[in-house]
Structure 1
Amino acid sequence: MAAARGHVQDPNDRRLRPIYDYLDNGNNKMAIQQADKLLKKHKELHCAKVLKAIGLQRTGKQDEAFTLAQEVATLEPTDDNSLQALTILYREMHRPELVTKLYEAAVKKVPLSEEYHSHLFMAYARVGEYKKMQQAGMALYKIVPKNPYYFWSVMSLVMQAISAEDEKLALTMYLPLAERMVEKMVKEEKIEAEAEVQLYYMILERLGKCEEALKVIRGPLGEKLTSELQSRENKCMMIYQRLQRWPECNALAHKLLLKNPDEWQYYGFYFSSLFHILDQSWCPPDEGEDCLEGPVHHTVDKVVRFVEERVKGEENKESHALRGPYLARLELLHRLRERGSSEENLLGEPLELMVQFFAKFGDKPCCITDLKIYLHLLSPEQHVQFINRLSEAVPLAEPGEEFAFPEDTKALQRHLCLCQLSRALGMHHSLDVDAKLKLISELKARYHHGLKFGKNALKTELQFSDMYCLMAAHVYIDLWVETEDENMVWHCLGLLQEGLSHSSSNAQFKLLLLLLYCRLGAFEPVVDLYSGLDAKHVQHDTIGYLLTRYAESLGQFAAASQACNFSLRFYHSNQKDTSEYIIQAYKYGAFEKIPEFIALRNRLNQSLHFAQVRTEKMFLDLFLEADIVVSLEESVKAMSLTAEEDDISWNNLRDNRDLLVFTCWDPKERQLSEENRHQSLEEESIWLKMRSLTLRLIASLSSLGHAPTIQNSALTSENGIGDKTSSLSTLLSQLDHTLQTATQLAEKHIQYPLLGPPSTRLARALSCGSCQCQSAAFQLAVHLLELESVGLDESTELQAQICNGFQTLTVQLQEMQNKCEGDLLEMKESRLKTRPSLLENIVFFVETVSIVLWVASYCAKILRPLKTSLQKKKKKKRMSALLCRW
């Protein structure tokens, strides 16, 4: 609002300023009152009316606000104040398409205004009207012939190509036209900025004209690519790869590594190009240079020699050695072994190379992540030898009563890396129970000893020995899983809470505590722990599942609703935020970022988690409010829920969950596998399908209403009863089919690693009978709808089915209730054991009872008039019999 106020240059500025101030300060009621006072004196002051509409919108009176706004919009204002205020209002209403109409009208009235044309282009950008953006860009360029406007139009053509459903159309029309437009500027020598060259390169690349793109990058235009280091070289590298010109790729990577031997991506290009050269049996020419980029290393021997030279260069340094060359040796050895090449021996023994790396970089926290991915190079027989060799490089003080402790943080980091590598090699998992308990004692002692190094640390800083604490917690979890002794997990919780008291910012402590509390059924501490993570932006999509998965299933409906709202706010704001990013990218010429922003928006819109929280939020609203605060019909209408429309794009669902958010040092065979990922996604999708169909069935139920009893079935279509039956039956058939698939999946009893994805509520819903009971309830509604259509006289068999349905439903509910009985905490053999499954059973029972009550309410609406009709018939028969006797 302050920005808008800055443009006010007329005498009305003084009059409008108080309203702007009230709105900026959040005092919307006073803004409305001030606007009303102003409008009494100055009815023609349209901006005041719009500002009043903004105040009404922010106080929840959307309909009044929209009516006021439309009153001004129909006048097609051209003053900056009204246009900008309307723009703000429409954005807050999530109606950006109305902004385009505003500026279309303004441009017609003031056709030579650069500002209005520019606003119109950006308004089109917000709604993704790429063709109109192209036209608006060219119209703007004709008025004010500036390069950025011209290239806005070119980029809009590129976006039409990217968004086109027909790829052929993109390659034959949009991109060639964009190419010709840029070539025109090149021939006229009007290319001025780096962004324009970037866009030209993007067009050529998408057209597959790699040779032409290469000429642009290596030519005079390429000299403008200065915003990123090695920008030209990186683009050349990508083109060489696409053209499969491996000698040039190899030579360029070699040249770049000479300048920057620590740039890891160049090693990837260097090694990959070598193996392609070997596969193609390429040989350098007899005369002249090997290729355009210089000498080519076309043999393993040359590449090994080059890498060893880089390592020697680092060894001669007195300080700050680079890790890249050392890791490059291990990476090359790994790739050679994958190819089954005997030349791997040229590099030496993996064990020796890794020991050398540890000796050089073992005091850095990154050492574990560097070495962990190459542990497979060691044979199982070498594991103990490897750890023993590393132990020699860990400087510890003389042992005291029990353990030898490090004297400084570098020695502590080396020993910590040693412990992490031991766990990654499976040495912790192979220990028996007593040995694991002894290991925990050692890790805890080392953790407490290491706290002295962080006495002066800030509250936001982590303690140097935190990883000892986390590793001890992991060993406790191993014991819990192995022995099913819950005492282990209680000890683990105590240890993690102690760790959190010393390192209040340690996200791994919070994440693990959150997971364990949820597994035990204790949800109360979880909300604060999740809030303490201070998740930012896209993290709501990647780790939000940790909270929303358990909140509802553990009976915390208010917390679950709040968590869903929190996530949904992020997803809804994503649309608005991404539009702003795109507009800024156009303004500053960052054209290559625009497709990335749109890809991000699509990724979030198609998120599995987004679909889940949206569905569960509607369930929670229905369970908490329908027929309590308002009727079921009103609740369904308020959330715009329809039985016919399935708003989930099943074929495009994206699993954006970060399933590796927990620090884990387990061996590969104990970690989350790709198969686990696919199984988890399948399970999540099936559960979402079941919930979505149930929701639509509830919506279908609420829309049925009550129609008069029709004796003649031929008339049913006139009353729509036949269509309603068909809709309900179709949805129920889909639910039953999904239920069968879900049952087959549940029978596989898939187990994920404890630090992997949590299982869905599917197995519990099936085992407690919730899904089956809900399906039976909806089937009863279908039968009642058929009874309403057919009538009582011709439905003897149907009436029997309905009676059986009611009896079956009663039995199923009783069985569900029986599964809810028991204690959430019980003592077994003097050990405390939690039973969170009981909580889930109770939640499913409550949900199912709610659905059954809605079905019963609908059944009552149908049966009451049928009963009345039957009583009238019986009364008539009795009267007729009496008359006959008389």
Structure 2
Amino acid sequence: MAARGHVQDPNDRRLRPIYDYLDNGNNKMAIQQADKLLKKHKDLHCAKVLKAIGLQRTGKQDEAFSLAQEVATLEPTDDNSLQALTILYREMHRPELVTKLYEAAVKKVPLSEEYHSHLFMAYARVGEYKKMQQAGMALYKTVPKNPYYFWSVMSLVMQAISAQDEKLAQTMFLPLAERMVEKMVKEEKIEAEAEVQLYFMILERLGKCVEALDVVRGPLGEKLTSELRSRENKCMMMYQRLQLWPECNALSYKLLLKNPDDWQFYLSYFDSLFHLMDKSWSPPNEGKHCVEGPVQTTVAEAVKFVVDRMEEEDKKESRPLRGPYMACLELIHRLRQRGCPDEQELGDPLELMLQFFGKFGDKPCCITDLKIYLHLLPPEQHTQFKNRLGELVPLGEVGEDGFGFPGDTKALQRHLCVCQLSRVLGLQHALDTEGKLCLITELKAHYHYGLQFGKSCLKTELQFSDTYCLMVAHVYIDLWTETGDENMLWQCLGVLEEGLSFSPSNAQFKLLLLLLFCRLGAFQPVVDLYSSLDAKHVQHDTIGYLLTRYAGSLGQFAAASQSYNFSLRFFHSNQKDTSEYIIQAYKYGAFEKIPEFIAFRTRLNQSLHFAQVRTERMLLDLYTEADITSSLEESVKAMGLCPEEDDIPWDNMRDNRDLTVLFSWDPKDRELTEEHRRLSLQEELVWLKVRSLTLRLLASLALLGHAPSSRNSDKANENGVSAKSSTLQTLLSQLDLTLQTAAQITEKQTQVHTRFTNNCVIQPQEISWLQVASRVITGVIVPSYSPMLICSLPPELLSRCKGEVLEMKDSRLMTQPSLLETLVFFVEVNCVCVCVIHGDVSWSDCVCVCVCVCVIHGDVSWSDCECV
């Protein structure tokens, strides 16, 4: 709440109880206390605002807003009232009203640094960059402090970033910002690192790389001290953009001599070396090679440099660094790409990898380091490599079960690394069914044996042998995929559940269990599993689809509603939270972060997952709430749906799903590719288009009244939301085209065949049901009442609704989760049809339930249904 106690004012003492009640969540007592105080002090504006806050928090928004406006029209200048109004307007999601408050306050108290500052931040919350620039300069003139001046400069940069016209940004906003900073440079008023960072940012965006390089290498660059090697990194960036490869090479060489484990400089060293070779660059006969020092221009020099780094690491008594050994493999990779025979001077890749494993095999990073260079080994060496790795793993004597086990966690990690590399090389996939079952037995034995090393682990810590358990699950999934034996899937579930009992914080167990349960149609455990992941912030966007994709399609409508709301809360709070981050960045001079925050907010606003969840949430509300809490038309009005407007940013849609969230040790030919991602996104977009058009069609029908006919005229409601019969026809045409596209995707069988994508695949039955709904809406099928709809549906569609989700077949439990999804679409299509006919009946209506029962079981007649 507003600050109190820093000003010696008797009103602070009177207001303190109200603040305390609000802080403790006792809003009713806060309102009562405010009323008592207002009886004695009618002109105590802050008490009115605090009462309004209490009213807002108890759901009386209109009354709260009216009370707040009474105070706002008086243009208060006391800090308590302004702070309280700011809090209230933010809770009402009306930040634009805060700007009006402080505009009036600044006019009345033009020399107040605090009010000028609050006005600037109020503009920042609503993104009024031009007004921010003006407010910043007004603040600087009132209180000539450097930060305020550079607030105005940064606001110019933000105008350039947000400008629709790139030419305007390059010719007006950025040059003006550059001149403003140059003025301070000439007057020698640059004080802080943030000011130099901003100058560099402006020059970089203007493409003035030479000038930016001069700033970094000059006296101003000495202020760049907050980050390690900040100055060198910026120099390297400019060298690369200017294609100054000698300087880039020399700087990389120099930095690697100081820190031979800095991987980014190895990459820039190799990049610059080969650019120089391609250009046949040679150093001058006299003087320095370049401003950064000596330049290396031959492969022989690079080979010697890398070998020397490795030899230095070999001589160290302490643990060696990984960088030089990985650099050797990277150089071999690049030389092979160029067909250079000099790679042989670096050694045999197999021996180098064995050497690397010998030094770092007991670290989890070993597998990820070696994985990217396994292509250097020819296929005929894969088995040899795996066997020789095994020789470097210290295992105990072979017991009765035929396995030797590691004696400590380091040996365990080495054995794990060998198992993972074996899978990456495809050796596990090459096994037959019997071989895979033997492998499972071995991995299980190692898993259970390794549990002894984690007896003292906390519940929040992972067991050392967890990866064995996860690999067992992957092999079971391989067997299920290859043989179709669903028993393998049940065995996999058992293994993962056992692993979770010993390691309850293992996110990989939970994610894989989540997907497998959904694959089986068992959604109930999924909610708890996802909740236990404790997803934070942006993870609601990157992995939220794992929950929301299945909830509705598996008929779990209550869970779907909760999951949609959970995701939407994150997206809706994004706008407010990002504004706060931007304000803090201005306050602390972190100007480089401000464009990043803006880009992050834009990325979330354009998120595919956001558009999907919002659309599905509104559809679910219409299907389940219409005619229960309100009519269909009232529900549409409450949502503010306008059939003629499509607010989904189709051209700028961002696919933020993390499709690689699950660990995978699959060979390269089985990995998720960019083509898979493209196809997955294509299917998601088509499905979203179908759902969005369905929603807009329902809204159009609701606003028109009932089914379209010649008697229906264009109609507008009291909120200005209108519907036209022509809009209905346009939407139907768009839906028909989209369904044709969906059918083409299905025919081409573009489904991503991988267990790790969780792709929202458009099934043929979904297209069929939607086509039926489309035909009903267009009037091709016009049943006089709901039961007649059954007679109009194609028999093959109805047959897909028959069957058992769980059934015993040949003494084995078999599942048909697709049946659940088919039933959901069947009921949804009936709901659409009922909406067309009656206008205000939801799918919770008994007619739809009877339709489902009759079709599925065939043993209930319409005469048995009381509703008919």
* TM-score, normalised relative to structure 1: 0.92
Contact between 1:555 and 1:840, CA under 8 Å: does it hold in 2?
yes
Task: Tell me the residue number matched to 2:612.
Answer: 612
**Residue in structure 2 matched with residue 403 of structure 1 by the alignment:** 403
2:823 counterpart residue number: 842
Change (3 A) 1:810 1:776: farther
Aligned partners of 1:248 and 1:431: how far apart in 2? Answer: 52
Provide the rounded CA distance (Å) in 1 between the counterparts of 2:126 and 2:816.
51
Read off the aligned partner of 2:793 and give its amino acid letter: Q
Q: In the alignment, which residue of structure 1 is the partner of 2:810?
A: 829
Bigger Cα displacement from structure 2, 64-73 vs 428-437: 64-73
* Superposition deviation, residue 540 in structure 1: 0.5
Structure 2 match to 1:484: 484
**CA, structure 1 residues 718+274, in 2 after alignment: closer, same or farther (shift >3 Å)?**
closer
Whole-Å Cα distance in 1 between the matches of residues 174 and 576 of structure 2?
Answer: 28
How far residue 637 of structure 1 moved from its aligned partner, in angstroms, is 1.3
3-state SS, counterpart of residue 43 of structure 1: coil
Aligned partners of 1:251 and 1:294 also within 8 Å: yes
Aligned to 2:860: none
Instruction: State the alpha-carbon separation in 2 of the partners of residues 765 and 4 from structure 1.
Output: 61
CA contact (8 A) 2:123 2:131 kept: yes
Q: Which residue of 1 aligns with 2:149?
A: 150
Distance 2:504 2:674 in 1: 34
Q: Map 1:116-131 to 2 at 5 A.
A: 116-131=115-130
Q: CA deviation at 1:705?
A: 2.2
Hey, what's the Cα distance between the residues in 1 that align with 2:87 and 2:3?
9
- Aligned residue identity for 1:70: Q
Segment of structure 1 superposing worse, 533-542 or 336-345: 336-345
Check if 1:163 corresponds to 2:166. no
Partners of 1:376 and 1:605 in 2: CA distance = 40
What letter matches 1:822 in structure 2? G
Q: 1:765: Cα distance to partner?
A: 4.5
Does 2:307 match 1:328? Answer: no
Q: Which residue in the other structure is 2:581 paired with?
A: 581
Structure 1, residues 530-579: CA drift from partner, whole Å, max 9, x if none? 11111111111000000001111111111111111111111111111110
Find the residue that maps to 2:59 and give its secondary structure: coil
Give the secondary structure class of the aligned counterpart of 1:827.
strand
With over 3 angstroms needed to count, the CA separation of the structure-2 counterparts of 1:200 and 1:323, relative to structure 1, is same
Determine the structure 1 residue equivalent to 2:72. 73
Aligned AA (2:430): S
Which whole-Å CA distance do the structure 2 matches of 1:820 and 1:709 have between them? Answer: 32
Structure 1 residues 205 and 710, CA gap change in structure 2 (3 angstroms): closer
Tell me the residue number matched to 1:875: none
For 2:708 and 2:214, the matched residues in 1 are separated by: 78
Relative to its length, the structure with more helix (as a share) is 1
2:667 corresponds to which residue?
A: 667
1:813, CA displacement in angstroms?
7.7
Q: Who is 1:445 aligned against?
A: 445
Partner of 2:343: 344
- Kindly provide the CA deviation profile for residues 622-660 of structure 1, in whole angstroms up to 9, marking residues without a partner as x: 122011221101111111111111110100110001110
1:669 shift after superposition: 0.7
**Contact 2:672 2:754 survives alignment (8 Å):** no
From 827, 833, 841, give the equivalent of 1:852.
833
Q: Give distance in 2, aligned partners of 1:562 and 1:841.
A: 22
Which consecutive unaligned segments of at least 5 residues does structure 1 have?
784-799, 861-886
Aligned pairs for 1:438-477 within 5 A: 438-477=438-477
Superposition deviation, residue 6 in structure 1? 4.6
Equivalences for residues 197-212 of structure 1 within 5 A? 197-212=196-211
Quick one: distance in 1 between partners of 2:50 and 2:136?
Answer: 30
Q: Distance in 1 between matches of 2:237 and 2:715?
A: 65
**What is the rounded CA distance, in whole Å, between the counterparts of 2:383 and 2:158 in structure 1?**
57
Q: Distance in 2 between matches of 1:816 and 1:405?
A: 56
Secondary structure of the residue that 1:95 maps to in structure 2? coil
Contact 1:53 1:68 in 2 (8 A): yes
Deviation at residue 52 of structure 1 after TM alignment: 1.2
Task: Quickly say closer, same or farther: Cα 1:52–1:717, change in 2 above 3 A.
Answer: closer
Aligned residue in 2 for 1:701: 701
Amino acid of the residue matched to residue 816 of structure 2?
R
Q: One-letter code of the match for 2:174?
A: L
Q: 1:47-196 alignment to 2 at 5 Å?
A: 47-196=46-195
Which residue identity lines up with residue 819 of structure 1 in the other structure?
R
Instruction: Provide the rounded CA distance (Å) in 1 between the counterparts of 2:796 and 2:641.
Output: 31
How many Å separate the matches in 2 of 1:304 and 1:442? 42
Once the two structures are superposed, residues 140-166 of structure 1 have per-residue CA deviations (whole angstroms, 9 ceiling, x without a partner) of: 000000000000000000111111111
Note the C-alpha offset of 1:707.
12
1:33 is aligned to 2:14: no
Match of 2:598 in 1: 598
Match of 1:794 in 2: none
Match of 1:362 in 2: 361
How many residues align? The count is 837
Name the aligned partner's letter for residue 849 of structure 1.
N
C-alpha distance in 1, partners of 2:801/2:58?
Answer: 44
Cα distance in structure 2, aligned partners of 1:496 and 1:668: 25
Cα shift at 1:59: 1.4
Report deviation, 1:858: 4.0
Aligned to 1:682: 682
Matched, 1:276 2:269: no
Distance 1:515 1:6, change over 3 A: farther
CA drift at 1:710: 7.3
Whole-angstrom distance in 2 between the partners of 1:279 and 1:833 = 62
The letter of the residue matching 2:580 is E
CA shift at 1:709, angstroms?
9.1
How far did residue 267 of structure 1 move?
A: 0.7
Q: Give the C-alpha shift of residue 844 in structure 1.
A: 0.9
Counterpart of 1:75 in 2: which secondary structure? coil
Question: Do structure 1's residue 266 and structure 2's residue 265 form an aligned pair?
Answer: yes
**Distance in 2, Cα, partners of 1:475 & 1:699:** 48
Per-residue CA distance 1:476-506 (angstroms, 9 max, x = gap): 0000111111110111111111001111111
Q: Secondary structure at the match of 1:103?
A: helix
Q: 1:867 is matched with which residue?
A: none
CA distance in 2, matches of 1:814, 1:283: 79
User: Contact 2:746–2:764 at 8 Å: present in 1 too?
Assistant: no
Distance 2:612 2:421 in 1: 38
Q: Per-residue displacement from partner, 1:228-262 (whole Å, max 9, x unpaired)?
A: 11111100000000100000000000001111111
Q: In the TM superposition, what are the counterparts of 1:872-883 in structure 2 within 5 Å?
A: none
Q: Is the contact made by 1:671 and 1:753 (CA closer than 8 Å) also made in structure 2? A: no
Superposition pairs of residues 401-800 of structure 1, within 5 angstroms? 401=400, 402-705=402-705, 724-763=724-763, 765-766=765-766, 769-780=768-779
Q: Structure 2: how far apart are the matches of 1:704 and 1:292?
A: 75
Counterpart Cα distance in 2 of 1:546 and 1:835: 20
Name the SS of the counterpart of 1:832 in structure 2: strand
1:705-758 deviation per Cα after TM superposition (whole angstroms, max 9, x unaligned): 2799978x9xx67999x9722110001101111110011011122342433222
Contact preservation (8 Å) 1:553, 1:761: no
Q: Is the 8 A contact 1:773 1:809 kept in 2?
A: no
Alpha-carbon distance in 2 for matches of 1:673, 1:6: 61
- Partner SS state of residue 833, structure 1: strand
Q: CA offset at residue 43 of structure 1?
A: 1.5
Deviation at 1:803, TM superposition (A): 8.3
Q: Is the 8 A contact 1:363 1:413 kept in 2?
A: yes
- Cα distance between partner residues in 2 of 1:389 and 1:176: 63
Give the direction of change, closer, same or farther, for the CA distance of 1:350–1:44 in structure 2 (3 Å limit).
same
Q: Which amino acid aligns with 2:529?
A: L
- Whole-angstrom distance in 1 between the partners of 2:64 and 2:570: 24
Contact 2:626 2:840 in 1 (8 A): no
Contact 1:816 1:841 in 2 (8 A): no
| Residue deviations 1:82-112 (CA, integer Å, cap 9, x gap) | 1111111111111111111111111111111
Partner SS state of residue 4, structure 1 = coil
Query: What is the rounded CA distance, in whole Å, between the counterparts of 1:835 and 1:150 in structure 2?
Result: 66
For residues 347 and 710 of structure 2, the distance between their equivalents in structure 1, rounded to whole angstroms, comes to 89
Q: Distance in 1 between matches of 2:335 and 2:839?
A: 70
Asked if structure 2 preserves the Cα contact closer than 8 Å seen for 1:743 and 1:766, the reply is no
How far has the Cα of 1:299 moved from its partner? 0.7
Please tell me the residue identity of whatever aligns with 2:641.
L
Structure 2 match to 1:307: 306
User: What percentage of residue pairs aligned between the two structures are identical?
Assistant: 74
Q: In structure 1, give the amino acid aligned to 2:694.
A: T
